[in-house]
Homo-oligomer: A and B are copies of this chain.
Amino acid sequence: MSKPRHPAKKRTGEERRQGLNQFHRELSLIPIPLAHEISPGDSIANKLLQSLEQRNLTFESGDILVVKHKIVSKAEGRIVDLAMIKPTADSIAWAKQYKLDPRVIELALRESRAVIRRQNGVLITETHHGFICANSGVDVSNVDGGRHALLLPVDPDRSARQLHLELKKRAGLAIPVLITDTFGRPWREGLVDFCIGIAGMKPLRDDRGRRDPHGYTLHASLEAVADELAAAAGLVCGKLNRTPACIIRGFPYGSGQGRTRDLLRPPVNDLFR
């Protein structure tokens, strides 16, 4: 049906009889709750494997691991004491107008390479990585009650790759890893999780040039599977249930090293900056 992908498990006799293939298989999301907070220097692989073991679960070939960036950022020590941040007069004036913490605004500006919008108390920036999101992803919830802020990982693809390699060593399987953050969207209410780091799979599925069942060539069928996986993981992972990770089982992903940059539209093709 498409380019070969991992895992290309053989069809069962029953599937063949019904004309079904790997793309008709059930997909499951298995939450990985953590009982304890992650601290700087912790091994995330360790903590996740422990949690699975406690519930008699293991990684299987073909699994994808999705991890919220917060535990990655914590493990990597991307924590800033807000008391150490001296905001500029400009940050103070703007924050005051909307009753925001000027130190968070200051940090968001430092973590950005461009301001996309600063309006109605909302600061949308382009981060050094190229993500366009509110406050450069700087977050004060779920840290320690507001005294510290959490930054995005310096290089989320590298973080994903490290976790991917550690799992390979520990579990003996090449498990693709996605790191996610929760973003708002233009035009639509509510937050959704997006992929900000990837290792071990391709973030996009390219069906362009393929024909639909009527023979019509598909023109615009580049599917952001990494963002779909991230959004799906958002359904079982959550701030309030201490579940910063999950396994997605049964998705026929495209093998490859993977890089988040492929998910970012070059400014020249973008109509909304």
Contacts and interface: CB of A to CB of B under 8 A. Distances in A.
Interface of A: 1-2, 18-21, 23-31, 33, 35, 54-55, 117, 119-120, 122, 124, 132, 134, 140-146, 182, 184-194, 203-204, 207, 210, 212-216, 218-225, 227-229, 231-232, 234-236, 238-243, 251, 262-265, 269-273
Contacts of A222: 189-191
A153 B229 CA distance: 27
Most chain B Cβ neighbours within 10 Å, of A186, A190, A193, A219: A190
Most chain B Cβ neighbours within 10 Å, of A30, A141, A264: A141
Number of copies of this kind of chain in the complex: 2
Contact of A225 (B33, B221, B235): B235
Given A214-B143, A236-B27, A270 B192 contact: no
A251 B243 CA distance: 15
Contact of A239 (B117, B221, B263): B221
A28 B31 contact: no
Contacts of A119: 271
Given A25-B31, A232-B231, A269 B120 contact: yes
A173 to B, nearest CB: 19
B192 A146 contact: no
B141 A212 contact: yes
Contact of A214 (B142, B187, B210): B142
Given A188-B224, A223-B191, A231-B227, A24 B216 contact: no
A216 B150 CA distance: 14
Contact of A235 (B145, B185, B193, B229): B229
